[in-house]
Each structure stands twice: as C-alpha cells, then as structure tokens.
C-alpha cells in the first residue's frame, strides 16, 4: 500500500503555526525576564546606596544632618563611596540623566525638572540627587521621618521605558537611614503604583517582590 506524503502546502502551514506559537510564547517570556532583571537591578542598587550611606554615617559621626549645604555636595557625599563612570553637576546638561520630557510618571505625564546633580554608575544605572534640607527637616509629602533629600535611580540606564515605577525607582534620605518611596509617605502603593498613579510608590513594592 502506497503511503500518502505531506504536500508542500501542508508542511508550510505547519511551520507557520509553529512560528506563531513560538512568537506568542517568546514575547511574554521576554517581558517576564526583563521585569525580573529590573527587579534584581533595583534591589542591588538600593543595597549599594545603603552601603554608601553607612559609610557616610561613619564619617559624619552617625548623622546625615548638616553633611551638605547644596545638591552638588549631596551627590558627592554618595559618589565618594560608589563606583561611577561619569558625574554631572546641577544646572549642567551633560548627559548623566534623561533630558526634560524624556522620562515619565507611570500615568503618562512627562517630567521636566531641569538639570539636577546626577551620576552614571559603573553598572550603567543613572542616579539623580535631590537636596531639600541641610538639617534633615523636610516633611512635605508626609515623609516620616523627616528627610534631607531623595535620590531617583534608573536601573535600566538610558534604555526605555524610562518610567517611574517601571525602571525608575527611588528613596528618601533621612538623618540616619534610607527609606524606599512608598514606605512612609503619601505615595501609597495601592493607589500610586497603578496606571493612574505617579509610580513613586512602586519602589517599595518592587523591593518586596
């Protein structure tokens, strides 16, 4: 009895079906892998900044109060204990952070804050330093304890999406500790770490994942 062979058209159809299944499988898998890498990068960066802050406290007799009088000094206090490839001073456009309107809140609004003190770490993460109070008494945004300043970190460097809560996270710098955004302020993760929120509160969520 003669065996019936597959036609070329049938073989091509099978190949096309396999290709579609592969694409549908690979895209979600790539997204999951990328999200996992970002979570790991944020945890590692937060640990690096905590280590740097511990050394700052040792050098400053256990308190961050009056350690600086301006934003450039605030940056230097940390980068003295971090490995960086480039540092940029406040008010200078020197490509250490995203340009205005090229990074965004989670809800989609562009961010335009001008040029802060910034740095590129040796692992390609970007850091933006925001100085508020020499005596660490800033309490706006319901931060508790009161803070000296805060630091935003883009763990994905200049690669997209450049969105707060997706690949940009941060923490408050108080007199004696670093606290991730969303842990002790009014950026409650339940409402802020959502498509309609700023994404600021996602910082503490991702650290716990």
How far apart CA 121 and CA 37 sit, in angstroms, is 17
Residue 153 near residue 172, CB atoms below 8 Å: no
pLDDT of res. 33: 47
pLDDT of res. 92: 82
pLDDT of res. 29: 42
pLDDT of res. 156: 94
How far apart CA 134 and CA 152 sit, in angstroms, is 19
How far apart CA 46 and CA 169 sit, in angstroms, is 9
pLDDT digits (tens, 9 = 90+) for 51-82: 999 999 999 999 999 999 999 999 999 999 99
Residue 134 near residue 68, CB atoms below 8 Å: yes
pLDDT of res. 93: 74
Residue ranges of the chain with pLDDT lower than 70? 1-6, 8-12, 14, 16-33
How far apart CA 203 and CA 197 sit, in angstroms, is 13
């Amino acid at each position: 009895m003669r065996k019936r062979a597959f036609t070329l058209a049938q073989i091509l159809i099978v190949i096309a079906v396999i290709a579609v299944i592969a694409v549908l499988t690979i895209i979600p898998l790539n997204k999951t892998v990328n999200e996992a890498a970002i979570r790991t990068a944020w945890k590692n960066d937060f640990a690096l900044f905590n280590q740097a802050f511990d050394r700052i406290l040792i050098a400053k007799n256990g308190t961050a109060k009056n350690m600086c009088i301006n934003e450039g000094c605030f940056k230097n206090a940390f980068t003295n204990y971090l490995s960086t490839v480039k540092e940029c001073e406040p008010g200078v456009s020197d490509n250490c952070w995203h340009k205005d309107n090229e990074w965004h809140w989670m809800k989609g609004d562009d961010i335009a804050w001008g040029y802060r003190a910034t740095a590129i770490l040796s692992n390609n993460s970007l850091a933006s330093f925001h100085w508020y109070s020499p005596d660490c008494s800033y309490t706006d945004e319901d931060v508790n304890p009161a803070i000296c300043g805060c630091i935003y970190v883009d763990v994905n460097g200049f690669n997209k999406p450049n969105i707060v809560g997706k690949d940009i996270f941060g923490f408050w710098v108080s007199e004696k500790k670093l606290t991730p955004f969303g842990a002790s302020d009014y950026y409650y993760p339940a409402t802020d770490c959502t498509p309609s929120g700023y994404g600021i509160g996602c910082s503490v969520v991702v650290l716990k994942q």
